[in-house]
């Protein structure tokens, strides 16, 4: 008859092997996630550069951006052609209107309104990593870059001010949430 200690040691070995297998799988998944985030960052940067180039000297007020749906769990494919913006209309949540008289914060999509809310709650200029954290996002490069892209777009259109340090504040007159 086997000893109790021997049985416990056998079960301990089995549990340790299971932990090692799961750690290897977790390491593999984390490495794949890092690669996917880097791949995604390349597209974010490419899109931003394209928008800047197409905007030309006019400042980009006439460049309409469209949302491109992202398919999950598939191998990277060639960049899809964006859906054109409907004539006379806009794609909900994808366009940041130029701030002007009569244009309220409510004209922004919810993601942009949340950024305004974070900045309104702050007494000082805020870095994009801090904005991402305040929004409940992980501080991974892809998420911070997404926030930076949105904040930069809002600064271009008069909603935010980008400081030389790269931090953002609300544009004058937005503290109270109005325009």
Per-residue pLDDT in tens (0 to 9) along the chain, 179 residues: 678 998 999 999 999 999 999 999 998 998 898 888 888 888 888 888 888 888 776 554 444 444 444 444 444 544 444 444 443 334 444 578 888 888 888 888 888 889 999 999 988 899 999 999 999 998 888 899 999 999 999 999 899 999 999 999 998 887 644 44
What is the rounded CA–CA span in Å between residue 143 and residue 133? 10
pLDDT attached to residue 117: 92
How many CB atoms lie under 10 A from the CB of residue 95? 21
Of all helices (H) and strands (E), which one includes residue 114?
Answer: helix 110-120
Spatial contact of 130 and 137, defined as CB atoms under 8 Å apart: no
How many CB atoms lie under 10 A from the CB of residue 122? 16
Q: What angle do CA 68, 40, 91 make, to 5 degrees?
A: 20
How is residue 61 written in tokens?
A: 């007020």
What is the rounded CA–CA span in Å between residue 137 and residue 132? 5
Indicate the pTM of the whole model. 0.48
Q: What is the pLDDT of residues 145-174, one digit of tens each?
A: 999 999 999 999 899 999 999 999 998 887
CA nearest to 173, candidates 75, 105, 91: 105
Cα diameter, the chain: 87
pLDDT attached to residue 44: 86
How is residue 124 written in tokens?
A: 């000082």
């Amino acid at each position: 008859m086997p000893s109790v200690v021997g049985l416990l040691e056998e079960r301990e070995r089995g549990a340790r092997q299971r932990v090692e297998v799961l750690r290897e799988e977790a390491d593999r998944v984390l490495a794949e996630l890092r690669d996917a985030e880097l791949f995604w960052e390349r597209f974010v940067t490419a899109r931003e550069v394209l928008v800047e180039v197409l905007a030309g000297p006019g400042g980009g007020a006439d460049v309409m951006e469209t949302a491109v749906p992202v398919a999950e769990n598939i191998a990277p494919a060639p960049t899809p052609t964006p859906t054109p913006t409907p004539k006379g209309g806009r794609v909900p949540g994808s366009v940041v209107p130029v701030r002007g008289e009569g244009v309220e914060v409510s004209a922004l999509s919810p993601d942009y309104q949340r950024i305004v809310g974070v900045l309104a709650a702050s007494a000082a200029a805020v870095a994009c990593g801090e904005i991402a954290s305040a929004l409940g996002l992980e501080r991974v490069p892809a998420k911070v870059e997404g926030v930076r892209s949105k904040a930069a777009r809002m600064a271009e259109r008069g909603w935010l001010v980008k400081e030389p340090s790269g931090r953002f504040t609300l544009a004058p007159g937005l503290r109270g949430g109005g325009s």
